Amino acid sequence: MSAQRAGDKRPSYLSAQYRSPGERVHRRPSAEVLRRRRRVVAGLALGLVLLVAVLTAFVWPGFARPDDEPLPAVTVTAPVPTPTVEPAGRPENQTAFLKAMPDTALQLAVRGVKVHTPWEDNRDAIEAWRLTYADGNDPEAEGAAVVRLVAGQWEEADEAGGVLDSLLEDAGEPTVSGDVTVDGEKAGTYAVTPGPEEGTSIVTWRNGSAVLQATGPADLVEDFYTAFPM
């Protein structure tokens, strides 16, 4: 089809609507097109800013936390200490009560077991034992960590309760006390009192018809009681 209208004898390149190839390539877009482009660019920029803010808040939590809000505490749990020595031998024909006393507790191992006659003779215990727990072969060695445990059993829980009260009265004012629970049920009470020597403590507790009393370094004997299974 002819590029010029009928009756118009001028060449098409002289018409008012004619645009050279260079003009068609380099002509400026309309104002409406520019506005649309600006809106698209602005929207992309806003989306990028929001994305960076969200990622920063998760990757660097302090960025999204107010200045006066403290950082969350991090709790580091140390491994439970274990003994470096083997438990010493026990008497033959042990009773069920003595067998219930563990061979080890924390870094301590049983180094000696003997009958505790004062509780049997003076407090009417069915049986009573004195166990020495230590972190070395020689409990008497300088620097050895030692806890001495006396454990006795009575026929009735009420008898054991009376013995506990008497022991606590002799031990003095408790620094810490509370309930002993077994499977969520109260089985007795415990109390921490000052030991016979500076830097030592005594933990005395009742579990049903059994009464136990541990004496040792203040910074160890309470952990010993907590770790003890009775």
Ordered DSSP codes for 53-101 = HHHHHHHSGGGGS-TTSPPPP---PPPPP--SSPPPP--SS--HHHHTS
Q: Answer whether residue 33 shows pLDDT above 80.
A: no
Which structure tokens are listed for 170? Answer: 């002799």
Instruction: Please enumerate in sequence order all residues whose Cβ is within 8 A of that of 108, keeping only pairs 6 or more positions apart, or say none.
Output: 83, 133, 134, 135, 145, 146, 147, 224
Q: Answer whether residue 210 shows pLDDT above 50.
A: yes
**Per-domain residue ranges of the chain:** 15-64, 96-227
Owner of token pair 């400026």:
28
Write down the pLDDT at residue 60: 54
Which structure tokens are listed for 139? Answer: 């409990």
Summarised one tens digit per residue, pLDDT across range 107-145 is 999 999 999 999 999 999 999 999 999 999 999 999 999
Write down the pLDDT at residue 1: 46
CATH of domain 96-227: 3.40.1000
